[in-house]
Amino acid sequence: MKKDLFERVIMDADLPGEVLPGQPLVEIVGGCRVIIENHRGVVGYGCSEICVKVKDGVYKIVGSDLVLSRMTKQQLVISGMIDSVCLCRG
């Protein structure tokens, strides 16, 4: 309830969403690298598909020769030929 209120204030004030703590942030760099911050772990993996759990659901990254280049508690870097990134809410 408290978070919802905080989110509403942010939206009403027209502030960027990154300021919210724990808010997942996805960056795609040149079609060959995806950086996901504030993730909650890898739930599915393979060379052509990697599923990463976030607060709002699961990000499904589809491509070829996918590699987890770096994985820390806060950040996750996926390299390879990225075809699509989609968010499956659930």
Partner 1 sequence: MGLWKSLEGAFRVEIVSGDLSKTLTAIQNDNITLSDIRFSDILHMRASVSRSQFSKLQKLLQKRGEEINLLSSIGIYWPLVRLHRRPVLVIGILLILFLAILLPTRVLFVEVEGNQAVAARSILENADACGIRFFASRRDVRSEKMKNALLNAIPGLQWAGINTKGCVAVISVRERTEKPEIELVPQAGNVVATKDGIVEEITVLRGTPLCKAGQGVKKGQVLISGYTDCGLLIKVQRAEGEVFGQTFHHIEAVTPTRFVQRGTATRKKRKFMLRIGKNIINFTKDSGISDAECVKMYEEEFLTLPGGFSLPIALITETCTYTDFYGVDFQNNDFSWLELSCENYLKSTMIAGEVLQRKNLGAFGDEVYKLNGKYACKEMLGQIRYEEIINHYGS
- Give the number of other Cβ atoms within 10 Å of residue 24's Cβ: 19
- List CB contacts of 79: < 8 A, sequence separation 6 or more: 32, 33, 66, 67, 69
Residues 36-55 close enough to bind partner 1 by CB under 8 A: 40-47
Q: Is residue 29 involved in binding partner 1 (CB under 8 A)? A: no
What six digits make up the tokens of 39?
Answer: 């993730």
CA 47 – CA 37 distance, rounded (Å): 21
Residue choice 8, 18, 56, 69 for contact with partner 1 (CB under 8 A): 69
Residue choice 1, 5, 73, 89 for contact with partner 1 (CB under 8 A): 73
Residue choice 67, 81, 87, 88 for contact with partner 1 (CB under 8 A): 67
Q: Under the rule (CB under 8 A), what is the footprint of partner 1?
A: 40-47, 67-73
